Amino acid sequence: MEKGEYPRYFVFVPPPNLKSNGITLLYEVARLLRLAGRTSFLLCDKEEGVPKSAIWSKSQVEVPVYFWKDVDSRHEIKTTDIVIYSESVQGNPLHAQRVVRYLMSIPGMLPEHSMNPGESDFLVSYSNLINRELFQLFILKQESVLNQLPRRRNQVAVHFGKVDRDALRRNFSQVWQLISRFRTKKVITRNAPRKRKKLIQYLAKSRLLVSFDPLSNLHIEATLLGTPVLVVDRSIYGDFDSFNLPLIGFCRGINQIDSFDRTVVIDTYQKQVAHGNLRNVCDFVAEAERHFRNMETRAISRNANLTLIAQLQARWKDDTLAAKRNPLANIDTPAQIPYQLCKRLDVSLYYWSLIVDAGDSLRRHFPQIDRGFSQISQFFGRHRSN
C-alpha cells in the first residue's frame, strides 16, 4: 500500500432482502465507512437477492454490492484490504489477511455459530452486553419516529423472536397473569406481522410489550413509541445495566412497570443515530488500521492478540456447551409458537399449531415429505401473519 493510500473495507453479508436487525446493521456499517472517508464494498454470501444494479443505496450514500464469487479483478481483495465478518461466519471464505470479527451476539449462544478467529484477527464487540473487554462498534439502526401516536387500547403485545424453547413455557407461565389482564393480545414474531405499518400499530396501541427474546431492536422501537418493555428472559443479559445507552422504558420486573418520558428516549436515540454512529465507526477505522499495523510490525502485539483469542475461545467453548443444553431458536411465524401458548393467546393459532406439530412428527419419520410440508407451512404462515 502506497503512502497516503487507505485500505479498502469489504463487509461480508447476506443479501439485503433478508429481514434481520443484525444484517441491517452490517449494511449500515458499510454506509458509515464511506462517510468516514474509506472505500467500502458489500459482498453477499448468496447470489439470490443481490441487487441487479450492483448498488445498495441509502441516505444518498451508494455502496457497491456483489455476489462474493463474482468479484472482478478490480475488486479482488488485496493483502492490505480489511474484511469484516460477523460472528456467524465460519472460517475465512474470502481468504483475507486482515480480518475483523464483528461479534453481534455472544459466540456460542447460537450453537451453529462456531467462529474460529485467526491469529491476527481484530475482534470487535457490538455492545458491552456481548463483551465489554473488546473494542465497541456500537451503532443503532435508523428508525422513523412517530410524532402523533394513536390512542392506546387495553392491549398487550407479546413478542417471540429468539427464544429458549425449553424455558419458554415456564417463562410464559410466570407472566401469564399479567398478560391475561389485557383484553386484546397481539402476537409478534420475527416475520409477523409482515407489514411494518401493522407492526408499528401493534406497538403503539399497546400499553405493554412482553418479550421472550433476551434482547431485540424491537424493544428499542417500542420505547420510541412510548410503550414500556418487559423482557422475560434475563438469563443472558441480566438487567441491561452495562448497555452502551441507558435503556429507558425497560421494566425491571412484573411489579415495576412504570410510565416513562418518551421524549428522553427519542432524544437519546436521535443523538446516537445523528452523531454517535459515525463517531463510533471513525474510532473503529482508526483502531482497526492501528491493530493491523501492529500485527505486521510488532511481535509483542501478535503475542498479546493470541493470548486474548485463546482466553475468549475457552470462554466461548463453555458458552457453546451451555447453549447446546438450552439452545435459542428463531420463532419466525406464529405457527412455530408451542400450541399450548397459542391456545391462551389466540384459539385460531392453536389449531394451526396442532397441524404444524403433526407435520414436524411426520417429517422426522418420513424425510421425503419434508420439502412439501415446508412449502405448505410457509404458505399458511404468510397468510396467517398478514
Q: Say what the pLDDT of residue 380 is.
A: 52
pLDDT category, 385, cuts 50, 70, 90? Answer: very low
Evaluate whether residue 329 is within a structural domain: no
- Least confident window among 43-47, 53-57, 93-97: 53-57
- CB-based contact 224:145 (threshold 8 Å): yes
Range of lowest pLDDT (222-236, 252-266, 316-330):
316-330
267 within domain boundaries: no
Chain-centre distance of CA 129, in angstroms?
Answer: 13
Is residue 175 situated within a structural domain? yes
Mark whether 48 and 91 lie in a shared domain: yes
Say if residue 107 is preceded by a cis peptide, omega within 30 of 0: no
Question: Do residues 21 and 136 share a domain?
Answer: yes
Q: Which of 260, 293, 308 is the last residue of a domain?
A: 260
pLDDT value, residue 81: 96
How high is the pLDDT of residue 83?
97
Percent of the chain with pLDDT over 90: 53
How far, in whole angstroms, is CA 300 from its chain's centroid?
35
- Going by pLDDT thresholds of 50, 70 and 90, the confidence category of residue 386 is very low
Task: Enumerate residues 6+ apart whose C-beta is below 8 A from 353.
Answer: 334, 335, 337, 338, 339, 342
> HEC string of 167-202?
HHHHHHHHHHHHHCCCCEEEEEECCECCCHHHHHHH
Q: What is the mean pLDDT of residues 216-243?
A: 90
The answer as to whether 88 is a domain residue is yes
* Domain of residue 163, CATH code: 3.40.50
pLDDT digits (tens, 9 = 90+) for 154-182: 999 999 999 988 899 999 999 999 999 99
Between CA 41 and CA 27 the distance in angstroms is: 10
Check whether residue 97 and residue 128 sit in a common domain.
Answer: yes
Which position has the higher pLDDT, 47 or 289? Answer: 289
Within-domain flag for 145:
no
44: DSSP letter = E
- Are residues 223 and 174 part of one domain? yes
Last residue of a domain, one of 226, 260, 294: 260
Residue 330 forms part of a structural domain:
no
Say yes or no: 15 and 101 in one domain.
Answer: yes
Q: Which helix (H) or strand (E) holds 65?
A: strand 61-67
Most confident of 77-91, 146-160, 282-296, 324-338: 282-296
The C-alpha atoms of residue 80 and residue 101 are separated, in whole angstroms, by 16
Task: Tell me whether residue 236 is in a domain.
Answer: yes
pLDDT of residue 382: 46
Is the domain of 317 the same as that of 350?
Answer: no
- Beta bridge mates, 330: 162
Same domain flag for 255 and 171: yes
- Nearest one of 101, 157, 174, 90 to 131, comparing CA atoms: 101
Q: Considering 260, 286, 306, which residue would you say is the last residue of a domain?
A: 260
Say how many domains are in the chain.
3
H or E segment at 157? strand 155-159
Average pLDDT over residues 52-67: 79
For all residues of the chain together, what is the average pLDDT?
A: 85
Q: What band does 33 get if pLDDT is binned at 50, 70 and 90?
A: very high
d(CA 63, CA 282): 17
Helix H or strand E encompassing 378: helix 370-385
pLDDT value at 261 more than 70: yes
Q: Does 292 share its domain with 252?
A: no
- Report residue 384's pLDDT band, with 50, 70 and 90 as the boundaries: very low
**Structural domain contains residue 90:** yes
Is 303 in the same domain as 339?
no
The model scores a pTM over 0.95: no
Are 43 and 127 in a shared domain? yes
Domain limits for position 180: 155-260
Same domain, 180 and 222: yes
Shared domain for 13 and 133, answered yes or no, is yes
- Return the top range by mean pLDDT from 169-178, 234-243, 252-261, 278-287: 278-287
